[in-house]
Structure 1
């Protein structure tokens, strides 16, 4: 599978458009954070699109810096909090809400650690074999165990949800995480974020179904 600026920009346009529709389908304030996920993924892919442009052309040093940090801020600082928080606000079952709350607490701690790491180590990105390889200091995504803790706040809150369709989304994200680990280990950050971004389109269907059920009641 090859990625490029065109793929990232195209994904950004489609996913962001679906995100706008998802927000329109949200019927309560509790759904807003969940509905905004596709738009945020669209922005993240837009950042990576510009990173492709910067890395493939000379004289885009500032663009490269902004795009690299822009993408990684979403990947490592926003998603570990946004995903569990969105699931937490939606959840009504007390036991499941406690599980999601624990995931959120882990996400806050993980975000603090990753933010500290990004602030003191050099952050770089480079094109390698039609993918972008990100590094933060000596920390790289080339070990099978790297990013496993990330799953607890970034994926499992959806699996913990009492909404079966949100469960399906979480399970699909987990499966694609495993696929990325097996086939794209070195490019894990870039590849899995793209997969998750495409999967976020399903959020529109979930909210559309919720809106339909709300109208029937």
Structure 2
């Protein structure tokens, strides 16, 4: 009788053991899934933190107007994709450019790219500014109201940032591998920095880290100023 009772007890316990094992499997599987999601999130975060773009050369300032003291009218930062980074969309809707100096701070001065279906790139800043009006709108067909008209530089009515291509492979708003784009910041008269002023531009890309470029304006003795 004792043997029979033992067998009956064992039979009764079998469902509980099966249920417990199933629950343990579910818990372990959920834990593995969470761990994998965490690893994926961390990997994506690290990829973002490495930065999508980087400075591709010397940052240069431009002193076109006689001031006392001398000041920078605009400056340019060449950029390219960082090693291993995917193409970056530089459309106005997906990009922001913050700007800070000793005396001013702007949350977003980006007005978009300087290109259209027929114009893919420019040789320098002045040729690009020849297609930008003083209200910072890009208009290659305009013949008046331009920041630069081929001989005279006129400051814009607001400080703005424009991205253009010095080396374009595919004519669109996307920065691809092998291309070099240039971020140019043009100042309204009241915002122009003088020597020893600290200026900072932050290029904020959708889903990527922020590229921060900080410079101190050196002594201005030439039209083109090497800012390192």
When the two structures are superposed, what TM-score results if normalisation uses the length of structure 2?
0.22
When the two structures are superposed, what TM-score results if normalisation uses the length of structure 1?
0.23
Structure with greater strand share of residues: 2
Q: Which one has a bigger Cα radius of gyration?
A: 2
